[in-house]
Structure 1
Amino acid sequence: MDNATCYIFGAGEFEPCPIELTSRDLVIAADGGYDYLVEMGLRADIVLGDFDSITSFDVWDDTNCEKLTYPPEKDDTDMLLAIKLGISRGYENFAIYGGLGGRMDHSISNIQALTYIARQGVKGVLYHHNHAMTVINNSSYIIPKETKGYVSIFSLSDVSENVTIKGLKYDIYGENITNDFPIGTSNEAIGKKGFISVGNGTLLIMWQIDSEE
């Protein structure tokens, strides 16, 4: 769905930040992520999960949104359920908040969820305090020239082949990166548009953002 974003809010660490929604955007709260929407005064179009971490039940009954209940014993995490739902409804751009911090296993599972997004041929960015991350698979990504600070690139596949990085402090052209040698740690933005691509493989890209964005 062009020019529309699926926003997903999880129950991890999250600092309220300005988010401007349009009528075409879809807002999904993955269980306790609903509390963040209440705190920020944002609408929830869908709330899903087993509802074991929501605390804002004082406004729950007054919320005019779709509620999808799942059992605690399931293969998909609440976050992955939300992602799959967004994809099934035609969304190709995902912005995820509250997906990191707290339990380490949840943070790792949400990074894996970014890999799932990339391998479905759509785009997703996971935001946390003053940094963001995305995963690309056999594709490319642009780091805006306004970016400041560190930009790190890691291979999530055994080998990511034909990796090119341009417009950052350290450039490479057509090199291979492996998942047992973190050579892409702490590259730096230099006021230029950064271009990162991988011909065959999966890359995790992390960069710093303004905490007030």
Structure 2
Amino acid sequence: MKCIIMANGDYGDIQNYRWLLDEADIILCADGGANYAYQMGVLPAYIVGDMDSIKPQVRAYYEGHKIPFKKYPQRKDFTDTQLILELAEELGASEIIFVGSLGKRLDHTLSNLYCGAELALRGKKIWHYSSDCSAYLVNTEFTVEGEIGDKVSVLALSDMARGVYEEGFEYPLENVILEKWNPYAISNVLREKRGVIRVQDGLLLVLHYRGRSL
């Protein structure tokens, strides 16, 4: 089941997300992410969080449509992202796609990226989408599809990632070890329209910048 989680981060032109939302089996909103769902006319299955970011008129609108709210206190041990990931797993999601999860605040961005690590290591497909970048959590093999010249960066999310391969790139890698504290596999370039990234042990973060010269 494909689950979209709408977070309260940067979106840019919200119409860039319409195609992705149309493919979703279920849509969940993390607190202020409901403000963007409201702008797009989306009725989520649940709204989750401490409700400190959702606008009053948006909350009233969704309450009027009987959308379930899972409200938590502001003083809590887990972030809204962690709570909504737990719900997505309970609902049976096999693929979880975040939107609005990158940008705005660096601490929130990093937290959002790390929150999915455990599920990714258990075989769930976890990725983040924005209008110019997609970020994928990879623990086996992943194929990047784009245009020749697209930038692709690979970081170790685990302390170490062993047996890393990159094929179809200007700077190929073959059976290397990436360490979290030595991020040298940055700004690779697609040499073909498909590039393959593999890791034998550990977790990678693969960032694909579409059509940008960075």
TM-score, normalisation: structure 2: 0.89
Residues 24-39 of structure 1 mapped to structure 2, 5 A cutoff = 25-39=25-39
**Structure 1 position 86 matched with structure 2 position 83:** no
Map of 1:127-142 to 2, 5 A cutoff? Answer: 127-137=129-139, 139-142=140-143
Q: Is the 8 A contact 1:158 1:178 kept in 2?
A: yes
SS of 1:190's partner is coil
1:9 aligned partner: 6
Q: How far apart, CA to CA, are the structure 2 residues paired with 1:130 and 1:73?
A: 34
> 1:147·1:208 contact (CA, 8 Å) conserved in 2?
no
2 CA distance for matches of 1:44 and 1:9? 9
% of aligned pairs identical? 28
- Between the aligned partners of 2:195 and 2:151, the Cα distance in structure 1 is 12
Distance 2:187 2:23 in 1: 38
Listed as ranges, the matches of 1:50-199 within 5 Å are: 50-55=50-55, 56-137=58-139, 139-146=140-147, 149-199=150-200
Q: How many residues align?
A: 207
Q: Deviations over 1:136-169 (max 9, x none)?
A: 22x1111114475200001122221110111111
Gaps of 5+ in 1: none
Distance 2:149 2:42 in 1: 29
Aligned-partner SS, 1:80: helix
**SS in structure 1 of the partner of residue 36 of structure 2:** helix
Change (3 A) 1:180 1:8: same
Kept in 2, the 8 Å contact 1:168–1:192? The answer is: no
Alignment of 1:196-211 (within 5 A): 196-209=197-210
Cα displacement string for residues 162-189 of structure 1 (whole angstroms, at most 9, x for unaligned residues): 1011111111111111122221100011
Q: Secondary structure at the match of 1:200?
A: coil
- The unaligned stretches of length 5 or more in structure 2 are none
Partner of 1:59: helix, strand, or coil?
Answer: helix
The 3-state SS of whatever aligns with 1:38 is helix
Deviation at 1:210, TM superposition (A): 6.2
Distance 1:147-1:50 versus aligned 2 partners, 3 A rule: farther
